[in-house]
Amino acid sequence: MRKYIIKRLLLSVPTLFLLSVIVFTLSKWMPGDPAERLTGAIETDYELPDEGPIAGLYDRTYRHLGLHLPLFYFSIQPTALDPKLREISDGPLRASLKSLMYLTGRAEGVMEYHRLTSSFIRDMQRLGDTACISGENLNRFERLYRSAHEIENLREMHRLLEISQEPDVCVSTDHRERLLSSIENLIQVEKGSFWWWPEFYWHGTNNQYHRWISDVLRGNWGYSLRDGSPVGSRIYSALGYTLWLSLWSILLTFIPGIPLGLFLAVSEKKYLKNSLRTLVYGLYSTPLFWLATLLLIFFTSPDYGSWTHIFPSPAALMLQDSGTGGLWASIGYFALPVICLSLNGMAFIARQMEQSAVREKFKTYILMSKARGNTDFKTLWHHLFPNALFPMITLLGAVLPALISGSLVIEVIFNIPGMGRLMWDSIFGQDWNTVYAVLMLGGILTIAGQLLADLLYVKNDPRVHYD
């Protein structure tokens, strides 16, 4: 047995590693730019942020967050792509250069074009009115450069450059000529037939994943990108609410759910059984958000008669001091969310228990027990119950991660700042350090929960052994 546990624990290491890689990679595919979030001015929907000299600031932040580094120890990319593309901090520009690389199949040519164009634009902007290209054309030129997804854009850029030919005013004719020929090259030279050939690049340890995972292994989960506080403290404060909510709702789910399921399975009272079963189905199929909103509207304000004002509104929870003492005092505010969660969960458990008990009910050992003269109660609790409990153990394995994951719907409706909301806010706020930590924690608890369930199988059923 001990050997088995050790083996399972060892196996969890590669699982967690794989999880960390997947989580990390997925986060990089999400839209959004943490560097922009960190440096952007107040930005709400439909509102343009104030302009400001933030170009340098953005670039510094991009580098500070390590976004210019390769993602992983190695990468496999088509030959057409330059692995150094990531070092360009300007997101839209990076995207347009990338599509140009795909379009022309020429990584080096595009990088050369990019270097020449960006310095040309900078020089011309510095010269202002004395530049060899008019302000309007320069704007158009820059815009084309930043959104050049088609060869047509390159042709237009080439045209704009050509009509700007006034060598005595232009600072560096040579620069302009080289830019012209680099654009010509991109337009004219045929795309090679092996541009898609996957090329292997080795980046070594100087990569984003390595940076993050080595910090994590040293126990440093990093700082939240939203408010600069340590990730651990954010999780700690959210976890308090979620654990409190989950513990109560799990207790109130399993404790009435299991006997109710057993009753439904074995009772002879058809009428009672059917009405209970309808109730259970009804509860199970009630959408949680609807039930929660109804309870909230009816029972937290005196709108529908003072007698319905039984529970305080969630705002009162906001005024409570935090800490465990605060949690005990605020149990009234948790009553409605707990009721919502456990009514729904209880119906599910009762259904599971009923089905599993019905399966066992007709087996011969039950008949045997009855034949030996045991009472119905004894047969039920001593023989049927332990055997019917098996699927419950599987469910119990899922309870451990559920303890910390929280219920987003309930937390939003009842305004509880728990883990569900933390996760939601962090994903949409691109606060990846927090997201990674929560997901890894969830992964560890899932593995632990499954191990626990496996061990409980052994304890509950002598036929199961792993050695």
Partner 1 sequence: MTVNCFSRIVWGVLWVFFFTAFYSCGPEKEPETLSELNVRIAADPERINPMLSRSGYATQIEGQIFFPLFSQDPETLDFVPMLAEGEPEVEEGFDFDGTPGTGFTYSIREEARWSDGAPVTAEDYLFSVKMALNPYVPATSWKGFLQFLLDVELRPDNDRVFTAYANSDYMHAMEITSSFALYPRHFYDPDGLMEGFEYSELREYEEGQLSEDRENLLKKAADEFTLARYSREVVEGAGPYSLTAYESGRRISLSKKENWWGEGLFPAEPERINYLIIGDETVALSALKEGSIHIMAEVSPKNFNELQSDPVQSEKFRFYTPPLLQIYYLAVNNENPKFDDADTRRALAKMIDLDFVIEELLEGYAEAVPSVLHPADPFYNPHLKPLQYSIEKADSLLKVAGWEDSDNNGIPDRIRNGEKTELRIDFDVSSGELGQQIAVLFKESAEKLGIPVNINRREFRLIRQDMHNKNYDISPLVLRQNLLRTDLYQNWHSHSNRPGGNNVAGYSNPEADELIAQIRTERDEDRLEELYHRVQELIYKDQPVVFLVAPQERLVVSNKIDLTVSALRPGYFERSARMKE
Tokens coding 69: 């580094």
Residue closer to partner 1, measured from CB, 413 or 438: 413
DSSP 442-460: HHHHHHHHHHHHHHHHHHH
Distance in angstroms (rounded) separating the CA atoms of residues 181 and 153: 15
Tokens coding 463: 């036929």
DSSP 117-158: HHHHHHHHHHHGGGSSS-HHHHHHHHHHHHT--SHHHHHHHH
**Residue 409: CB partners within 8 Å, gap ≥ 6?**
288, 289, 292, 420
Instruction: Give the distance between the most distant pair of CA atoms in the chain.
Output: 114
Strand partners, 221: none
Residue among 441, 246, 207, 416 at smallest CA distance from 433: 441
Residue closer to partner 1, measured from CB, 179 or 296: 296
**Residue 42: CB partners within 8 Å, gap ≥ 6?**
49
Residue closer to partner 1, measured from CB, 103 or 295: 295
Residue closer to partner 1, measured from CB, 353 or 447: 353
We find the least distance from the C-beta atom of residue 16 to partner 1, in angstroms, to be: 28
We find the least distance from the C-beta atom of residue 146 to partner 1, in angstroms, to be: 6
We find the least distance from the C-beta atom of residue 29 to partner 1, in angstroms, to be: 14
We find the least distance from the C-beta atom of residue 264 to partner 1, in angstroms, to be: 16
Residue closer to partner 1, measured from CB, 19 or 336: 336
Give the chain's end-to-end CA distance (angstroms, integer): 6
Residue closer to partner 1, measured from CB, 136 or 168: 136
We find the least distance from the C-beta atom of residue 448 to partner 1, in angstroms, to be: 25
Residue closer to partner 1, measured from CB, 31 or 219: 31
We find the least distance from the C-beta atom of residue 224 to partner 1, in angstroms, to be: 8
Query: Residue 82 to residues 87, 97, 184, 194: CA-CA distances in angstroms?
Result: 10, 10, 20, 15
**Residue 459: CB partners within 8 Å, gap ≥ 6?**
none
Residue among 306, 338, 447 at smallest CA distance from 20: 447
We find the least distance from the C-beta atom of residue 411 to partner 1, in angstroms, to be: 9
Residue closer to partner 1, measured from CB, 37 or 158: 37
We find the least distance from the C-beta atom of residue 179 to partner 1, in angstroms, to be: 18
